[in-house]
C-alpha cells in the first residue's frame, strides 16, 4: 500500500484497574492520539462506571476521532472493595476471568471511533498483567509493557531471584535486624535495608503468592518488546542503566502527566475540556481554602487510592497534624478507614483545632493541589504517581509508605534524591508532629532548595530535545516500525 494512504497504527491500551495506573495510561493514550495514532483503551466495567460518574473523560476524548473506550469485566462482585488487604484478589480474578475476553476483543477486530473495522496492530498493557503478553504472542501482535510502579522497585523485583539464591531472603523480621543492608540489588548496596524491601518480603515466606508473583518480574518484563516507564533519565538514570541489563529497550517518558501538558501547549487547536480520570468525586473547595494560605505554609496529606488506615492510625495522624501547628489539607478517602462510625469518635476539641488549621476532603484535585503556591510539603504513602507528581511540583515529602513499591520509593526519596524524610514503620503522634515540623520549619530551606532543583530537571526533560520528549518520539516511531 502507498505510504500516504496507509492508515495510522491502531494501538490497544490495557491499564491495571487502579487509580494510579488509570491516570497514567489515559495520559499515554492522549499522547498517542496527538501523535496521530488510533487508540482503543480497555478498562474494567468497574472502572468505567466510576469514570462515567466522576469525570468528563469521554468529552475530552471526543476531540480525538481515532479514540475509543471499551470495557471488560474484572470478574469480581460489584461490592468487592478492590483495595486494602483484598487487593491481590483483583490480580487473581483478572488472570482467571479476563484473559479469555481480552483475547476475544483482540481477535474480533476492535471498531475504531472513526467507524471502520480495524484490527489492533499493537498492544500496550500493564506489565503486571502477564496474560496480555501470552495472548499477544498467541495471535502475533507486538506488545510493549507499561509499568506504573517505580523503576527502583521494579529493579528490586528483578533482583528477587538473586536475593533468594544468596540467602538474603527470606528473613524473619521478628528475629532479625531490619536495618541490615541488602547486598544483592546492584547499585543500592549502601542504603537499601531489609525494611525498605517491597512489603511482601516481610512475610518471611518464599511460598507466598506475592513472592511467587513478583519474583518472575525480570523474566516476565523482558518478554515484551519494550518497557514504558513513568520516570525521567535525570531522576532514575542509575537504576535505568541496571534495568537495561535485563530489559534493554526502555522508554522513560515521565512525568507523564506533564509531558501531555507540554505537548498540548504546542498545539494550535482549540482548548480541550479539562482532563480528569478520578475515580472519586473531586472536592474543589480545597482550592479556595488554599488560596487563603501563605506561600509554602500548608502540608498536604494523602495516602492514595488503595491504602487503608486503622482507627488508631487515623487518630495518631490527626493528633500529630494538629499538634504540629502547621496548616494541613488532608484527603480522607470515603473507603480508607477500617471500621465504621470513626467520625463520631472524634473528640470535640480535636474537631475545633482542625477547624482552625485543617481542611479535610474526600478526594482532591491532587495535581492542582501540589502545584498550588501554598503547599510546602506532602505527607504521602509514596505511590509512584504521587511521588512523581510531587517531584515535578517541587514539593518535599514526608514518606509513610503503606505497601509494595512504596517502601522502596520512600527510601529513594529520603536517601538518594534527598527530597524528604522517611517515617516508615512509625505511626505515633509525637513522631508525626516532629517530622511535620522538621520538614515544614526546621529543615525547610534545605528540602525546598533540593526539590526546586529536581523539579527543574523534570521540566527540562519535557522540552524539545529533552530525554522524555525524545523517548516518546522514539516510542511513536517504534510503534510504526514494529507493526509494519
Contacts with ligand UDX by CB under 6 A lie at 18-21, 23, 148-149, 278, 302, 304-306, 331, 363-364, 366-367, 383-386, 389, 404-406
Q: Is the peptide bond before 255 cis (omega within 30 degrees of 0)?
A: yes
Q: Rounded to the nearest 5 degrees, what angle is found at the Cα of 111, between the Cα atoms of 105 and 116?
A: 145
Measure the N-to-C terminal CA separation of the chain; round to a whole number of Å.
Answer: 11
Cα dihedral 127, 128, 129, 131 sign: positive
The least CB distance from residue 259 to ligand UDX, in Å, is 14
Q: Which residues of 229-242 are buried (b: 16+ CB within 10 A; e: fewer)?
A: bbbbbbbbeebbeb
Nearer to ligand UDX, 199 or 249 (CB): 199
Nearer to ligand UDX, 262 or 404 (CB): 404
For residue 188, the tally of other CB atoms under 10 A from its CB is 25
Under a CB-based contact definition with an 8 Å cutoff, are residues 13 and 125 in contact? yes
Nearer to ligand UDX, 383 or 466 (CB): 383
User: Helices in 271-372 by DSSP H: which ranges?
Assistant: 285-291, 311-324, 348-357, 366-371
The least CB distance from residue 300 to ligand UDX, in Å, is 9
Nearer to ligand UDX, 299 or 331 (CB): 331
Nearer to ligand UDX, 26 or 122 (CB): 26
Cα dihedral 221, 226, 228, 232 sign: positive
**Distinct helix (H) and strand (E) counts, the chain:** 20, 13
The least CB distance from residue 24 to ligand UDX, in Å, is 8
The least CB distance from residue 45 to ligand UDX, in Å, is 19
The least CB distance from residue 196 to ligand UDX, in Å, is 14
Distances (CA, A) of 162 to 155, 180, 191, 224, 412: 12, 17, 18, 22, 21
Q: Rounded to the nearest 5 degrees, what angle is found at the Cα of 327, between the Cα atoms of 325 and 328?
A: 120
The least CB distance from residue 10 to ligand UDX, in Å, is 27
The residue of the chain with the least Cβ separation from ligand UDX equals 383
Cα dihedral 265, 268, 270, 275 sign: negative
Nearer to ligand UDX, 54 or 178 (CB): 54
Grid cell for residue 468: 522524555
The least CB distance from residue 330 to ligand UDX, in Å, is 10
The least CB distance from residue 383 to ligand UDX, in Å, is 2
Nearer to ligand UDX, 148 or 221 (CB): 148
Amino acid at each position: 500500500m502507498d505510504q500516504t494512504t496507509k492508515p495510522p497504527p491502531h494501538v490497544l491500551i490495557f491499564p491495571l484497574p487502579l487509580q494510579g495506573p488509570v491516570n497514567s495510561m489515559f495520559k499515554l493514550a492522549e499522547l498517542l492520539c496527538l501523535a496521530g495514532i488510533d487508540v482503543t483503551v480497555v478498562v474494567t466495567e468497574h472502572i468505567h462506571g466510576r469514570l462515567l460518574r466522576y469525570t468528563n473523560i469521554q468529552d475530552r476524548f471526543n476531540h480525538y476521532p481515532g479514540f475509543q473506550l471499551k470495557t471488560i469485566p474484572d470478574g469480581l462482585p460489584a461490592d468487592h472493595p478492590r483495595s486494602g488487604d483484598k487487593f491481590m484478589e483483583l490480580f487473581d480474578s483478572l488472570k482467571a476471568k479476563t484473559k479469555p475476553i481480552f483475547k476475544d476483543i483482540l481477535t474480533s477486530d476492535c471498531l475504531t471511533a472513526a467507524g471502520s473495522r480495524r484490527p489492533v496492530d499493537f498492544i500496550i498493557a500493564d506489565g503486571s498483567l502477564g496474560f496480555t503478553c501470552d495472548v499477544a504472542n498467541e495471535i502475533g501482535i507486538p506488545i510493549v509493557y507499561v509499568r506504573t510502579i517505580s523503576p527502583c522497585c521494579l529493579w528490586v523485583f528483578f533482583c528477587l531471584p538473586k536475593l533468594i539464591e544468596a540467602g538474603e531472603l527470606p528473613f524473619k523480621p521478628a528475629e532479625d535486624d531490619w536495618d541490615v543492608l541488602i547486598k544483592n540489588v546492584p547499585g543500592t548496596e549502601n542504603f537499601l535495608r531489609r525494611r525498605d524491601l517491597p512489603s511482601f518480603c516481610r512475610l518471611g515466606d518464599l511460598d507466598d503468592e506475592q513472592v511467587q508473583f513478583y519474583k518472575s518480574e525480570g523474566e516476565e518484563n523482558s518478554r515484551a518488546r519494550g518497557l514504558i516507564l513513568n520516570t525521567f533519565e535525570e531522576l532514575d538514570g542509575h537504576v535505568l542503566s541496571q534495568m537495561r541489563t535485563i530489559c534493554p529497550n526502555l522508554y522513560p517518558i515521565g512525568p507523564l502527566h506533564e509531558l501531555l501538558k507540554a505537548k498540548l501547549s504546542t498545539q494550535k487547536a482549540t482548548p480541550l475540556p479539562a482532563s480528569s480520570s478520578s475515580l472519586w468525586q473531586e472536592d474543589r473547595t480545597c482550592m479556595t481554602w488554599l488560596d487563603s494560605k501563605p506561600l509554602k505554609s500548608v502540608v498536604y496529606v494523602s495516602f492514595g487510592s488503595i491504602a487503608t488506615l486503622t482507627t488508631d492510625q487515623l487518630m495518631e495522624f490527626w493528633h500529630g497534624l494538629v499538634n504540629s501547628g502547621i496548616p494541613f489539607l488532608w484527603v480522607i478517602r470515603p473507603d480508607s478507614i477500617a471500621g465504621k462510625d470513626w467520625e463520631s469518635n472524634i473528640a470535640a476539641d480535636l474537631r475545633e483545632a482542625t477547624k482552625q488549621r485543617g481542611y479535610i476532603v474526600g478526594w482532591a484535585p491532587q495535581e492542582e493541589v501540589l502545584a498550588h503556591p501554598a503547599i510546602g510539603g506532602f505527607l504521602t504513602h509514596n505511590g509512584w504517581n504521587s511521588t512523581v507528581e510531587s517531584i515535578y511540583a517541587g514539593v518535599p515529602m514526608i514518606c509513610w509508605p503503606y505497601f509494595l513499591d512504596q517502601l522502596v520509593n520512600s527510601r529513594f526519596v529520603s536517601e538518594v534524591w534527598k527530597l524528604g524524610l522517611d517515617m516508615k514503620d512509625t505511626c505515633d503522634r509525637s513522631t508525626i508532629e516532629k517530622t511535620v515540623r522538621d520538614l515544614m520549619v526546621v529543615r525547610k530551606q534545605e528540602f525546598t532548595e533540593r526539590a526546586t532543583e529536581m523539579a527543574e530537571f523534570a521540566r527540562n526533560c519535557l522540552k524539545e530535545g529533552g530525554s522524555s520528549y525524545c523517548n516518546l518520539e522514539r516510542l511513536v516511531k517504534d510503534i510504526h516500525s514494529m507493526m509494519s
